[in-house]
Amino acid sequence: MRTLPDFNEPPVIETVLGLQFDSLESFSIPHFGLYWSKIVADYPKFNVQPPLTHVVEQFGAQAWKPSSLEMGLAPFPELRCWFENDTENRLIQIQKDRFIYNWRKIKETEEYPHYDYLKPKFIEEWGRFCQFSEEVKLGNVNINQCEITYVNHIEIGKGWKSYGDLNKVFSCWSGDSSVNFLPEPEMVSLNTRYVMSEKRGRLYIIMQPGIRRHDAKEILQLQLIARGKPASSSIEDIMEWFDLGHEWIVKGFTDFTTENMHEIWGRKI
């Protein structure tokens, strides 16, 4: 039974469930192909991308260490590979310290499949990667961060018409002025972060204006990223952290946006 806020037409267009682990030192270019051979029936398309940087949420002075700062010549170019399904709405991303599972909206009519549906898909694909890792003896996969991201598109004309209307979209933005000097803003971006309870991680909320290529519409791209360390590398602890991160994203999204927008998106709970 769903207890978190829920919407009939949420503006989400992409969700990402990602794991970051200590770098698999023996992982090299051939492993991309070996792994692909295991999933190619489901993910027949590939795409090479630059790698994501290693990011670890730190709290206070206790934990800081320059874990990713290494000097020297890289033995081979660092890469990230995308493996996409036929319709390109499912994506697995791999690099020597990352495993990422994406759902993306490809067609306007496609509905967000909800976290409860995506969870078992992630578990299945992560299990497949762990099995592969064992088979080719990549060593222990020691998870150091879980990351969950939701990307939302808030279209112009649906609750806002100009940047002077942002108080109708975001509850934290009043749009008021003290001495009535400033005109309506020409453009606005927001960048905020919050510490999750018991320092289990951080939630980042980023709003950036943009133009969507598909239909040339002006949008507000609202991205919520929750990142933190699970209690262990077990699948139970990983999913426990993802549930927490998902809760922070859904409640954070609901808190960050106005009731006016909730009505437009058809809030059910």
Partner 1 sequence: MIATAEKEPKRSWENTDISSLTSIRYSEVISLRPDYTPHWLKDALITLFHIASLPENWDSYGGPTPSSTAVNNALTFMRAVQVEDLPVPNIVPVPGGGIQIEWSIAHRELELEFLSDGSVEYLEIEDEKPIHEDKIIPANNSQLQSLLLWLTHAATRKNR
In the complex, the residues that contact partner 1 under the rule CB under 8 A are: 13-14, 88, 104-108, 110, 151, 153, 186-189, 208-216, 218-219, 221
Residue 27 CB contacts under 8 Å (≥ 6 apart), including other chains? 96, 138
Q: For 203-230, what is the HEC assignment? A: EEEEEEEEEECCCCEEEEEEEEEEEECC
The residue among 9 and 110 lying less far from partner 1, judged by its C-beta, is 110
Give the long-range contacts of residues 73-77, CB within 8 A, separation 24 or more.
Answer: 75/28, 76/28, 76/29
Query: Least separation, in Å, of the C-beta of 95 and partner 1?
Result: 21
Question: Taking a C-beta distance cutoff of 8 angstroms, is the pair 54, 97 a contact?
Answer: yes
Query: Least separation, in Å, of the C-beta of 84 and partner 1?
Result: 10
Q: Which tokens go with 107?
A: 């067609």
The residue among 12 and 244 lying less far from partner 1, judged by its C-beta, is 12
The residue among 73 and 182 lying less far from partner 1, judged by its C-beta, is 182
Query: Least separation, in Å, of the C-beta of 110 and partner 1?
Result: 8
The residue among 10 and 230 lying less far from partner 1, judged by its C-beta, is 10
Name the E strands within 98-142: 98-104
The residue among 80 and 105 lying less far from partner 1, judged by its C-beta, is 105
Helix (H) or strand (E) holding 135: helix 115-135
Query: Least separation, in Å, of the C-beta of 216 and partner 1?
Result: 4
Q: What is the DSSP letter of 157?
A: T
Query: Least separation, in Å, of the C-beta of 249 and partner 1?
Result: 17
